[in-house]
Structure 1
């Protein structure tokens, strides 16, 4: 009896030591996460219940800041703009990345395949601020976009794209599509590489077309990659700031105003820290409402 208990105790002690060592390795990252994410989140939630200019005394206002977020037409308009950008930050990059990855995968390995992946991934290397400035030059009245339109006989479409109330938001959204398409393509290429090639050989022996191969093998095999990319791109759309700040600053008027720009203006320009904090908390909740169902669907698909 004693001989069977001793090994069990030794195994439990070894497991406890392993857990302790694991926590010690994770402790620096955990402390950094608590210090730079959890603590600011708690403080921001606390500020959201006060009227405070960031310097003087604060005044308790309860849920008044949240009520203002949901009743102010300007703030609600910025939320609508952010959801509109999902079409450009999520739908276009994910769909185009999926098609491009499938086409590149069908190419013979070599220079053309490698060069395609490199060119598509380049926007991820360029800082978003630099990308926004470069695209603002191209969208100008005398920029590359209008010059190309004039060259191909479509000069009647030329306009100051970022200065037009009708085209400013789609123009900014296309910048986001350009930036994120490369990331989607590379991740999909990695996912396709993990799919068992014997599945493709089996459907080809059955005489399946390219479309049937895509919908029966490729698309189901990329379920996790699609969930990850949709999550990342939806977050990028709802929390967009860099591109819009460097191109339009939310203009013309409020045509490209998004929550990130609104929070920046309210907190640092209007010195309404409480309202900015409340809007930030609302934005976080909106992101969770959009992202959690995606994660749930992805996990359900694994079963």
Structure 2
């Protein structure tokens, strides 16, 4: 009996050793991607973190300042204001597109649409366009003599016509709505792809139980699209926090500082005032903030799934 047990233990050990040997080919397949990631993502990130500890203009020899750049970052009222603007952009770039995408998906699930593939492709066009093209186009739309004000004057709402990007009160939401337009197509495409995987029996069962559109939305669509919702939130939140192209090409952070975001100060410090250490500190802080927010979103969604 003892010999048999020893034989079984030895067999299991050999089996585990064989299984470990079989894993090596899989690691070799991952190696090219890992090398690219280390060279072009991890290495630059670590170099940026190292530069953030120096007072450096990008040309001459830097001076070690330790965490002073981060201390200045936390005490700078302009950066605190820019961070608040980024939080406002979270509403326009993330919450509005995700909510709109879910509602439109629920409507499309209940109503059969011909040419759905073409429709999804058209909705995805803002994601394909260059953000510079998008920003310049919307700047023309928001122009005092542009189509938006022209439409308002045509219907007798002259009092509402204004310089949308030149007014402190409207510049931030105007830029935010551009982000909503860019991101909602991505969310809708993700949700429509997920909705196609929902068994029709779930909808039929809900309707047999007397569920209306709102209850069907809450009990069938939203739970079934939790994975797609998490992915959409991560993508849109990341875009909102690192937003630069649209802001820079519409308002350049103005008027005044009403639309500044941390990325604008990062660009100005790195390429205008040549304070590369400060710019690197902003970049590292923004990266940590983005990773933290996305990590919290992922954790909350996983807990709800559990």
Gaps of 5+ in 2: none
SS in 2 for 1:267: helix
Q: Report matched runs for 1:8-157 at 5 Å.
A: 11-12=15-16, 14-111=18-115, 113-157=116-160
CA shift for structure 1 position 219: 1.1
- In structure 2, C-alpha distance between the alignment counterparts of 1:149 and 1:117, rounded to whole Å: 30
Gaps of 5+ in 1: none
Q: Report matched runs for 1:1-303 at 5 Å.
A: 11-12=15-16, 14-111=18-115, 113-303=116-306
- In structure 2, C-alpha distance between the alignment counterparts of 1:239 and 1:283, rounded to whole Å: 8
TM-score by length of 2: 0.93
After superposition, the CA RMSD in angstroms is 1.8
CA shift for structure 1 position 109: 4.3
- Aligned CA distance change for structure 1 residues 118 and 107 (closer, same or farther; 3 Å): farther
TM-score by length of 1: 0.94
**Alpha carbons 1:104, 1:116 under 8 Å: kept:** no
- In structure 2, C-alpha distance between the alignment counterparts of 1:171 and 1:101, rounded to whole Å: 25
Structure 1 runs, 4 residues or longer, greater than 4 Å off = 1-14
SS in 2 for 1:131: helix
**Alpha carbons 1:85, 1:173 under 8 Å: kept:** yes
Paired residues in the alignment total 302
> Deviation string for 1:143-176 (max 9, x for gaps)?
1111111112212111111111111111110000
SS in 2 for 1:203: helix
